[in-house]
Amino acid sequence: MSKPSNAFRAHPHFSRLYLRGGPVLNLFLGQAREAQGRLVTGKTLIIGAGSGLDVPAVLPFAKTLTLLEPDPTFASHLLRQYPQLPVLITPAEFITAADNTFDTVLSSLVLCSVADLSQTLKEIFRVLKPDGQFLFLEHGIHRNKLAARMQAALDPAWQRVGGGCHLTRPIVDAVAAQGLVIDQFQYISTNWLVPLITGRATKSPIHRQTLRETPR
C-alpha cells in the first residue's frame, strides 16, 4: 500500500460555496451522473465524494457503497447526510482499503484537483478487483490547440479560485498510462474551458485498449 500523501490542502471557502451551488451544478450534469450510476455494480467506492451528488445515482445499483473524501468540510457534510455509509477521510493518493477490494471505483470532477494524478490512478488500479471497472466523469485539456492555450493561460488563477482544480490535465491519457484499459470514452461537452469526458476503464487484460471515442 502506498504511503500517505501530505500534499492535500483543504479549501473551506470553496467547499462551502460548492455545497450551496450543488443543485445548480446538477442541472448540467444530472443526466451524465445518472448514466454513470447505472453502470455501477458490486462493491463500489466513490473517490472525492464531495457534496454527495453521485450517491443517489449510485445507491440503487451498488451492492455496498463507500465514500472517500479528504476535505473536512465535505466529509462532515457526508457524515451528516449519509450516516449509514462509511466515509474514508483520506486523500485519493492513499486509499485506506486492501488490494482488489472494489468491483467499481467512480469519480466525478475529482481527477482535476487531486494533488498527484498518477498516484491517485495507481491507487484506483490497486483497490480494483481483477475484473473491476473505473467509471469517470471528468474535465481535462481541450483537443482544440487554441482552446488548450487559453486553458493553460487561465490555469494558475483557476486553481486559486477553484479549490486546486486544474484545467489542463490529459485525463484519458493519464488513465491509460496506469495500466487501466479504456473500453470507451465520450466528450459530452466541448466548451472552450472545461470540456467534459465520460468513460469506463477496466483492470482486466482481456479487453483491447483502443482508446476509441464512443459515438454520441
In a 10 Å sphere around its CB, with 0-12 CB exposed, 13-18 middle and 19+ buried, how is residue 156 labelled?
exposed
Position of cell 469526458?
Answer: 197
Element (H, E) at 44: strand 43-47
Domain annotation for the chain: domains and CATH numbers = 18-106 (3.40.50.150)
Query: Which residues have CB under 8 Å from 215's CB, separation 6+?
Result: none
Q: How far apart are CA 29 and CA 121, in angstroms?
A: 23
> Does residue 133 contact residue 160 with C-beta atoms inside 8 Å?
no
The per-residue pLDDT for range 57-80, each reduced to its tens digit, is 999 999 999 999 999 999 999 999
In a 10 Å sphere around its CB, with 0-12 CB exposed, 13-18 middle and 19+ buried, how is residue 105 labelled?
buried
Residue range 121-139: average pLDDT?
A: 96
Query: What percentage of the chain exceeds 70 in pLDDT?
Result: 83
The per-residue pLDDT for range 151-208, each reduced to its tens digit, is 999 999 988 888 889 999 999 999 999 989 999 889 988 887 889 999 999 986 654 4
Give residue 31's identity as a one-letter amino acid code: Q
The lowest-confidence range among 30-44, 99-113, 165-179, 193-207 is 193-207
